């Protein structure tokens, strides 16, 4: 029974997607993955705080800011990662739903209807 539970909870971890690219397709599951970097900062003094990801939430490691003692924080999304921010940044791989283009097609059965349709639309043959 426990083995069946573990088999049902199989999700791809996208371990073959490199953090060096902005977005790429996962070779294991085929999903479009966007690499995102986040920083946690104190709301009071704006200092960078160390954090971790837990249940798809980003949480600071300590409850209080080591600089000012505040408890409030905000999460900043980074476009590019800097060498200085590597120790504080949280790296996450997020699935992006691909943009689908809808295509409409019109089918006409015989030529008489085609000529009438061209006249109706104002097309010149």
Query: What is the distance between the terminal CA atoms of the chain, rounded to a whole angstrom?
Result: 70
Q: Three-state DSSP class for 88?
A: coil
Question: CA-CA distance, 96 to 115, in Å (whole number)?
Answer: 45
In 3D space, the residue among 14, 74, 18, 15 whose CA is nearest the CA of residue 43 turns out to be 74
- pLDDT band with cut points at 50, 70 and 90 for residue 125: very low
pLDDT at 40 over 90: yes
pLDDT (tens digit per residue) in 68-121 = 888 999 999 988 888 888 889 998 888 888 666 677 666 666 655 555 555 555
pLDDT digits (tens, 9 = 90+) for 57-83: 999 999 999 988 889 999 999 888 888
The pTM assigned to this predicted structure is 0.64
């Amino acid at each position: 029974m426990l083995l069946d539970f573990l088999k049902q909870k199989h999700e791809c971890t996208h371990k073959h997607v490199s953090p060096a690219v902005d977005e790429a397709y996962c070779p294991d599951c085929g999903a479009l993955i966007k690499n995102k970097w986040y920083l946690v900062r104190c709301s009071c003094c704006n200092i960078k705080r160390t954090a971790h990801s837990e249940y798809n939430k980003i949480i600071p490691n300590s409850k209080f800011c080591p600089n000012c003692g505040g408890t409030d924080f905000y999460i900043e999304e980074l476009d590019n990662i800097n060498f200085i921010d590597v120790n504080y940044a949280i790296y996450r791989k997020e699935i992006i739903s691909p943009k689908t283009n809808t295509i409409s097609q019109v089918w006409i059965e015989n030529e008489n209807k085609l000529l009438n349709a061209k006249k109706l639309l104002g097309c010149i043959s």
